[in-house]
Amino acid sequence: MIVHLNGWPGVGKYTVGKIVAERLGARFLDNHTLLNIAIALTDRGTPAYYELATKTRDLAFDAILKLPSSEPVVMTGVVASGGSSDFLVDNWRAILALAERRKCCVYSIVLSCSEEENVRRMGNEAREAHRKKRKPELLAELLRARQLINDGATASIEIDNTDLSPETCADAIVAWLREITTTN
């Protein structure tokens, strides 16, 4: 099983994803683990950036293919259409292809929170340690220009975590996963 947490920057994908992975006994691969090499060595948004980020992703996905197919993997990332690049949609297609090659399901969880809470969370200084953007104007631009997607997932759910602790949100995800995987 691949569990993918989708949502705008600052919504809590990393924090909630780590807890979900721990509770499922899963591997955890957040999008910045993949992107930070390209962020460190190229200029964001350039062809060199996208090339390096894609190569890094492909290496990581090759490693996932070597894991037992019964071992769950929890991933995070923004999956959205629109904007000037197809990079986010291409990453989603790569995740779906990975699941097909692993012969497993992809469960998509779209996390959201109020725009005010999202802006507050984006301002958290701890984001810098992961090379995450902290500019509220980025969120406004994303909301204006892009649409979150999860087409092709085996099953999906949207969770507004504005008033949820990361632990409570993770509990809701794990409960949903257990329910959906026992009924399929």
Q: What is the pLDDT along the chain (184 residues), one digit of tens a residue?
A: 999 999 988 899 999 999 999 999 999 999 989 999 999 999 988 999 999 999 999 999 999 999 998 999 999 999 988 877 788 899 999 999 999 999 999 999 999 988 888 877 777 666 566 555 657 667 667 777 788 899 999 999 999 999 999 999 999 999 999 999 987 5
Neighbours of 100 (CB within 10 A): 11
Sign of CA dihedral 49, 30, 148, 64: positive
CA distance 32 to 45: 15
In the chain, the domains with their CATH numbers are 2-183 (3.40.50.300)
Q: Tell me what pLDDT residue 45 has.
A: 87
CA distance 119 to 114: 9
Q: Tell me what pLDDT residue 9 has.
A: 86
Q: Burial letters for 147-168: b for 16+ Cβ neighbours within 10 Å, e otherwise? A: ebbbeebbbbbebebeebebee
